[in-house]
Chains A and B, each alone.
Chain A
């Protein structure tokens, strides 16, 4: 049992699992930044489309995309916390 404890301390010293976790978090942060950018772009396009016809197919598609991008950002943020 004691050997196992010593090994755990050695592993903590080298921080193997934390490195992996950090890599994942960095990747997710990049992903969130790119999705946020996309979200801002869609928002502008929706505004532009809505000036013409609010019920157009293009506007419907953009709204759907906006909703999905928002959902993906939320999930990415949740995955960072997890």
Chain B
């Protein structure tokens, strides 16, 4: 009976949930249709948001990797990272775009957590430039006049084949819509004032401050953009719909609200995204607390600084922009000295003790959205696949990596590694390697959607390399069977021949490891070495095959053994070639040099 009632209640709850969203939507639609002023304001917000969206996409295309390069190269120290975060966000007018790039760089290990946190702090100051833009340009000039030509030229440039022009076109469309949105918001607030004066409902004291902070935060969470909230606050303030102190509180609320947006966004993100969201939360809470505690002192500071910046006493909109910048700078000054302990704390969060086998280390959907980090993450994941596969392959050949990569003479390494290592290469392939390979294929497909022709070529090379690595494992599986068989029946001539094959492999593996560890500036010299090794491998295959003929003629091995050996010489040669080709793709950075390699020969 109880069970039936519970089930009925559950069904009713679901029904209610299903009804709430359409009902709220209908209510909102009715409100918009009946209220002309609200309709204009809300349409203004919608147009502003469309503009932000176009601007963000435009900068993604237009920057052509410049933004990524700046964020990667100019973030070495904390002050530099903060400065770069500020500049990047000021220029692109989107802290979310900067955040996406930073999270993807962090995941691809292009930058560290300290640098990423620095960029996020700087980005917070950068977002305050929107307030300056709206309060200075947006309200003083009739910007709607400039919006239409911008939209026209933006659409024309969209016809271009080049991403740069398309991007500039998108940025122009974005700016056009932003200007148009501000104009609509301003018009809406001006006509609203004739019928309803929101300023009459202003609450005095700290209660009012907290209520408006809450309003600001909720508005930002709903709109999902602190810049849009700031634009609304400034236009409402300029048209006298809200008083100055309420606007200051709303601005603090917008900062708090943006944190909620970041946290919601990070729920589906990897540990790096979550750690950055926590850093953002901590920063914004401290900043908001400081701003609330010192709100009257900060207001006085703004009043003192405004004349020095040629802002008139009555220009509350620009004074609000100044207040917004000052309290964000204050937040950075308060938190930046503690960035190292903060990072140490963040690193203790979201650590998973048991990482699942065969899971990628660097690949996430976010990383794939940014071309520079997508290629680097896929390269690192392919190296991860290389390490996992080589570990299995080396053990299958009864060898140990520590010995291979030591200074010990190669023949000694091979002769001393006599005991059979029990390893099920099929099982390892299924459990670890195949999953990793599948992830590389999956994520590279996602990345290709955001890349130009050159980027797609790089992805294609990496996919080919991943396939080569997989084939190495499969070739080794064949070699392992015969190696252990002849060891078991103690056939000395065959053991000797297989040791030669193992020596061959150790030589190449050792050399590839050296190339990996060396930081040789002259990459053409590295390529020359690799190509020489390929030539030598070909010679050695011929020599080994000739030796098999001698062994047959001298009746030291039978024809069945010879056929196995000939096949395995082929497998060994193929493994060596694949290892060397992989080294070219994975460790030679210069594309002009890389393209001279054998695998590029048509």
Q: Is A45 an interface residue (CB 8 A)?
A: no
Q: Which of B510-559 contact A (CB under 8 A)?
A: 522, 524-525, 527-528, 531-532, 535-536
**Bound complex: CA A68 to CA B596 (Å):** 11
Chain B residues, CB < 8 A from A65: 528, 532
Q: Which of B133-171 contact A (CB under 8 A)?
A: 156-157, 159-162, 164-165
| Contact of A7 with B165 at beta-carbon distance under 8 Å, contacts A65-B532, A67-B535, A68-B531 already known | yes
| Interface residue total, chain A, C-beta cutoff 8 A | 27
Chain B residues, CB < 8 A from A3: 156, 159
Chain B residues, CB < 8 A from A72: 524, 527-528, 531, 596
Q: Is B300 an interface residue (CB 8 A)?
A: no
Q: Is B592 an interface residue (CB 8 A)?
A: yes
Once the chains bind, are B160 and A7 in contact (CB under 8 Å)?
yes
Question: What sequence of 0s and 1s flags, for each residue 53-82 of chain A, a beta carbon within 8 Å of any chain B beta carbon?
Answer: 000000001001101110110011001000
Chain B residues, CB < 8 A from A28: 592
Once the chains bind, are A34 and B524 in contact (CB under 8 Å)?
yes
**Which chain A residue has the least Cβ–Cβ distance from B166?**
A7
Most buried by B among A27, A31, A38: A31
**Bound complex: CA A27 to CA B524 (Å):** 12
Q: Which of A6-34 contact B (CB under 8 A)?
A: 6-8, 10-11, 16-17, 24, 27-28, 31, 34
| Contact of A16 with B164 at beta-carbon distance under 8 Å, contacts A64-B536, A79-B596 already known | yes
Once the chains bind, are A69 and B156 in contact (CB under 8 Å)?
no
| Contact of A31 with B592 at beta-carbon distance under 8 Å, contacts A11-B165, A16-B162, A72-B524 already known | yes
**Bound complex: CA A67 to CA B535 (Å):** 9
Name the interface size band of chain B. 20 to 34
Q: Is A51 an interface residue (CB 8 A)?
A: no
Q: Is B595 an interface residue (CB 8 A)?
A: yes
CB distance from A67 to the nearest CB of B (A): 7
Chain A residues, CB < 8 A from B522: 34
Chain A residues, CB < 8 A from B535: 64, 67-68
| Contact of A24 with B165 at beta-carbon distance under 8 Å, contacts A3-B159, A64-B536 already known | no
Once the chains bind, are B524 and A11 in contact (CB under 8 Å)?
no
Q: Is B407 an interface residue (CB 8 A)?
A: no
**Bound complex: CA A79 to CA B161 (Å):** 25
Once the chains bind, are B165 and A35 in contact (CB under 8 Å)?
no
Once the chains bind, are B595 and A11 in contact (CB under 8 Å)?
no
Q: Is B409 an interface residue (CB 8 A)?
A: no
Q: Is B593 an interface residue (CB 8 A)?
A: yes
Once the chains bind, are B536 and A31 in contact (CB under 8 Å)?
no
Chain A residues, CB < 8 A from B528: 38, 65, 68-69, 72
Q: Is B601 an interface residue (CB 8 A)?
A: yes
Once the chains bind, are B531 and A71 in contact (CB under 8 Å)?
yes
Cross-chain contact of A64 among B159, B532, B596 (Cβ < 8 A): B532
CB distance from B90 to the nearest CB of A (A): 26
Cross-chain contact of A11 among B160, B525, B536 (Cβ < 8 A): B160
Question: What sequence of 0s and 1s flags, for each residue 570-602 of chain B, a beta carbon within 8 Å of any chain A beta carbon?
Answer: 000000000000000000000011011000110
**Bound complex: CA A69 to CA B157 (Å):** 46
Chain A residues, CB < 8 A from B161: 7-8, 11
**Which chain B residue has the least Cβ–Cβ distance from A65?**
B532
Once the chains bind, are A7 and B157 in contact (CB under 8 Å)?
yes
**Bound complex: CA A33 to CA B536 (Å):** 26
**Which chain A residue has the least Cβ–Cβ distance from B64?**
A16
CB distance from A13 to the nearest CB of B (A): 11
Once the chains bind, are B164 and A61 in contact (CB under 8 Å)?
no
Once the chains bind, are B159 and A7 in contact (CB under 8 Å)?
yes
**Which chain A residue has the least Cβ–Cβ distance from B163?**
A16
Chain A residues, CB < 8 A from B524: 31, 34-35, 38, 72
**Which chain A residue has the least Cβ–Cβ distance from B534?**
A68
CB distance from A38 to the nearest CB of B (A): 7
Most buried by A among B156, B164, B596: B596
**Bound complex: CA A54 to CA B600 (Å):** 33
Once the chains bind, are A31 and B593 in contact (CB under 8 Å)?
yes
**Which chain A residue has the least Cβ–Cβ distance from B169?**
A7
CB distance from B513 to the nearest CB of A (A): 20
Chain A residues, CB < 8 A from B532: 61, 64-65, 68
Cross-chain contact of B601 among A7, A10, A16, A75 (Cβ < 8 A): A75
- Pull 7 A–B residue pairs with CB atoms less than 8 Å apart, ordered by A: A10-B160, A11-B161, A11-B162, A64-B532, A64-B535, A72-B531, A75-B596
Seed contacts A6-B156, A68-B531; 5 additional CB < 8 Å A-B pairs: A3-B156, A7-B165, A28-B592, A61-B532, A72-B531
List 8 tightest A-B contacts by C-beta distance, closest first. Answer: A68-B531, A7-B160, A75-B596, A27-B592, A72-B596, A3-B159, A64-B535, A64-B532
